[in-house]
Structure formats: structure tokens, C-alpha cells
Amino acid sequence: MPSDALRDLVSARLAAARKEAGITQQTLGALARVEPCAPCRYEGGFHVPTLRILAQLASALGLTPSELLREPSPRAPSRSRSCSTSAARSPPTARPPSTPSAGPWRR
């Protein structure tokens, strides 16, 4: 009997991957060539798919089984910059010398 941790992992990752792909449970079932209600049972934590079915589900989602079960890496925080914050973060620009003798017009 699979552990609760495995059941929870499969349930959460399968649901997240399916939603990210933008497809329904029924569509996933058809693409994976499993019963139309099977993804619902796996996502709901009622059953854990066999390795063969897990591979079919992953393939239907364009993933490998290990990618499907891998914890998502934390995303870097979005860096929305407004004018004021980008100016504060930009490197200083080169400024012309401020001495009056600088410049080609002076002799």
C-alpha cells in the first residue's frame, strides 16, 4: 500500500501539471489512453497510478515521470520595475568633466 506522502505528491503534481497544460481531467485521460475518470481518482488521492500509467500520464503532459514528480523549483520573484525603481537600480552613466577647460573648443 503506497504511503500517504507518495499519494499526496502524485495527487498534487499531477493536478498542477494538468492545469498548467490547460487541459481537463477527461482530456488527460484520453491523451494518456486511460479511463476518462482515472485522472480524477489520482488527483483526488483515491488511487496511486502504477509506474506504467504514471509514464503514460507524464507523456500526455509532455513530461517524463521524474519531471512530473519533481517538486517545482521556487521561481525568482518578479521584477516589475517602474521608472523610479529602475533609475535607482541603474548603474551611473558617465558624465562629461565639469571643469571649464575640458572640451575641444578651448585652447
Q: Check whether 31 has a pLDDT greater than 50.
A: yes
The dihedral built from the CA positions of residue 57, 59, 62 and 65, taken in this order, carries a sign that is: positive
Rounded CA separation 5/74 (Å): 20
Q: What local confidence, expressed as pLDDT, does residue 73 receive?
A: 61
Q: Which domains does the chain have, with CATH numbers?
A: 4-69 (1.10.260.40)
pTM value is: 0.65
The C-alpha cell that represents 40 in the structure block = 480524477
Percentage of the chain surpassing pLDDT 90? 57
Query: How does pLDDT run across 38-53, given as a tens digit for each residue?
Result: 999 999 999 999 999 9
Q: What local confidence, expressed as pLDDT, does residue 20 receive?
A: 95
